[in-house]
Amino acid sequence: MFIESSISMKFLDAFAGIGGFHAGVKQAIPDAECVGMIEIDKKAREVYLKNFPLPKENVYEDITQLISRDKVSDKQDSKEIDEIVGLLEVEAKQSKYIEDLPEFDLLCAGFPCQPFSINRQGNRDFVNEADDRVNLYQYLIEICRIKKPEYILFENVAKLETVRNSKDELMIDVIINSLRDIGYKHIEYQILDAADFGVPQQRKRIFIVACRSCDNFSFPKINNRKKIKVRDILEENVKSKNYKEVFKQKKCTSRCFLKTDINQEYNNSERLYCSKKGNAKKGDGSDTKVYKWIQDSNNKWILKDTNYDKNDIVYQNKYEAFIQCPSKKSPVDEKSGNLNICPKYILTHDTPSYIARQADRVYSVEGISRTLATFGHPLFDVDGVWRQLTPKECCRLQGFPDDHLYDNDKMIVKDGEALKQLGNAVCVNVIERLVKALF
């Protein structure tokens, strides 16, 4: 049974981050009311509450401090339970009963994804049982058991579909069965890519939708309209003085090559590896050339001279790297004292994946961005200038408004923290479409 449009929908925002769910819900249903948010990260709460102010009593910091009366003790009377909760409040400063949460129709949650990252054993992926966050989803199940919201919308990494727990059970099945056990009869999940929802970012995430009494739910249809490009979301007049050191334009990566490697051919089976050396030498400076991988007519990659000026080179991380081929028995030793090192080679967006690590790539603004993460933000070739995207541009990649990270034209948090928050966020556009499909 869907809520009629004349009734204001209420929602609880758990693991709220900087408000991706909130923004998406409000874009879908402008009169929707958020009855509470749960977020343990103080800086994320600052950004969230600047955009979506809530009364203090509706802001919950630690989901593990939301407890249920019947779980405290089935045998203790209410006075004893209140005394226990009182002790918890002294210790945690915010323990509350789940039963006392405001009523709501929809629970939104992007529970922590880190425990579900790849931990491969044989040909299977397992959760990281040592991560304390691995069972935080169970607190969401408990909230749903007690409050019984009609609808649930969860988000996590796509890996959740295939990762297993220590009992060799698929985590997606464990979560779905837990929801069925507490009365949710219709549950669907699907992996969606943000790039299909009007933002130039590849961001594949799994979305779980559950409802207690509705008969069916259909995920939004993906149309084949032309995807927008990174170029379409770039700011104008971006000044390097506004960036930290890591934002300054770079003309190369942190790798170097020996002169003996120039024009040496490598086929696909001979991947190149770098052995990073903290005290490596920069060479005698006699070679002013810069080299780049070029594919020849035989589809082999050769290190060739370019017309780049060595003076444009930025030495990344203040150390050099030396080439190591799998066919060699040991990496080049910087202690020989006689190394004659060429300038670093140039990596561009068309450098093949078996030569360049993802972190070393420079991406074209004529395509879409790789997934924003909490670290390792990519470089883009913007009309010949290599730079990272600004926080405002990353907001656009996630569907947030330009002013989401600002308070009176001043950043609420520092650039690095802002990029981390955006890497943790859910894409607003996807949430908007899902909520419209639900209601």
> What is the Cα gyration radius of the chain?
26
Region label for 310, one of left (φ > 0), alpha (ψ between -120 and 50) or beta (otherwise):
alpha
How many Å apart are CA 32 and CA 153, to the nearest integer?
15
In the block, residue with structure tokens 């190591």: 324
Degrees, nearest 5: CA angle 438-35-11: 10
How many Å apart are CA 214 and CA 2, to the nearest integer?
7
- Angstrom CA distances, 126 to 114, 122, 175, 255, 337, stand at 12, 10, 15, 34, 46
Of 113, 211, 342, 395, the active-site residue reads 113
- Angstrom CA distances, 288 to 21, 231, 304, 316, stand at 52, 33, 14, 18
Residues 6+ away with beta carbon under 8 Å from 217: 186, 188, 209, 211, 437, 438
How many Å apart are CA 386 and CA 82, to the nearest integer?
60
In the block, residue with structure tokens 């607190």: 139
Neighbour tally for 75: CB within 10 Å: 6
Rounding to the nearest 10 degrees, give the CA dihedral for residues 372, 374, 375, 376: -10
Determine whether 256 is an active site residue.
no
* Positions marked catalytic: 113
